[in-house]
Amino acid sequence: MAARLNLFANPVAVKAWKHIIAASKVLGESTLPASTRELVMLRASQINGCAGCVDMHTKEATAAGETAVRLHLVAAWREATVFTDAERAALELTEDATRIADAAGGVSDEVWANATKHFDEDQLAALVTQIAVINAFNRGNVIVQTPAGDYQPGRH
Q: Is the pTM of this model over 0.85?
A: yes
Residues found in the chain? 156
CATH number, position 110: 1.20.1290.10
Using alpha carbons, select from 46, 54, 30, 37 the residue that is nearest to residue 149: 54
Phi, psi of 114 (to 5 degrees): -65, -40
74 C-beta neighbours (distance < 10 Å), count: 25
Q: What is the secondary structure of 110-153 as a DSSP string? A: HHHHHHHHH--HHHHHHHHHHHHHHHHHHHHHHHHT---S---T
* Mean pLDDT, range 19-35, rounded to an integer: 94
| Cα atoms found within 13 Å of the Cα of residue 68, Cβ hemisphere only | 0
Task: Confirm whether 64 is domain-assigned.
Answer: yes
Note down the domain range covering 114.
Answer: 35-144
Looking at per-residue confidence, does 34 or 156 come out higher? 34
For 66-110, the pLDDT digits (tens) are: 999 999 999 999 999 999 999 999 999 999 999 988 876 789 999
The number of folded domains in the chain is: 1
142 or 8, greater pLDDT: 142
